[in-house]
Amino acid sequence: MLDLTEVKFVKRIVVGSDNPAQIRTREEVEEAEALLNRCLSDSPHGSIIAVEKSFTVLQVGEHQVVLQWLCYHIGFVRRPYWLAE
């Protein structure tokens, strides 16, 4: 476990559709999942320091649609060189 006093960089990764105006494709969700896995496995290793869970219920015509997403906050001791912003 990473001591929070050591955290100098936090990467926020959203997995799922967080904007009803721009629904993410399956490929975009898979890219976010791959980035999350890389943050947790490649050097320097990150640690999950927080998870936001949220959803939105939309009315589309006669149907209700639920958008769900998770937002992971990954803490690093230093910013990874392979992580571009």
What is the second-level CATH architecture of the domain 4-76?
2-Layer Sandwich (3.30)
Q: Running DSSP on this structure, what letter comes out for residue 34?
A: H
3 falls in which pLDDT band (50, 70, 90)? confident
Question: What does the domain layout of the chain look like in residue ranges?
Answer: 4-76
29: which 2 tokens? 């969700």
Can you give the pLDDT at residue 67? 86
The DSSP 8-state label assigned to residue 27 in this structure reads H
Place of tokens 């960089």: 9
Res. 37 pLDDT band, cuts 50 70 90: very high
Instruction: Give counts: helices (H), strands (E), the chain.
Output: 1, 3
**Which of the four pLDDT bands, split at 50, 70 and 90, describes residue 2?**
low
Query: Whole-prediction pTM value?
Result: 0.84
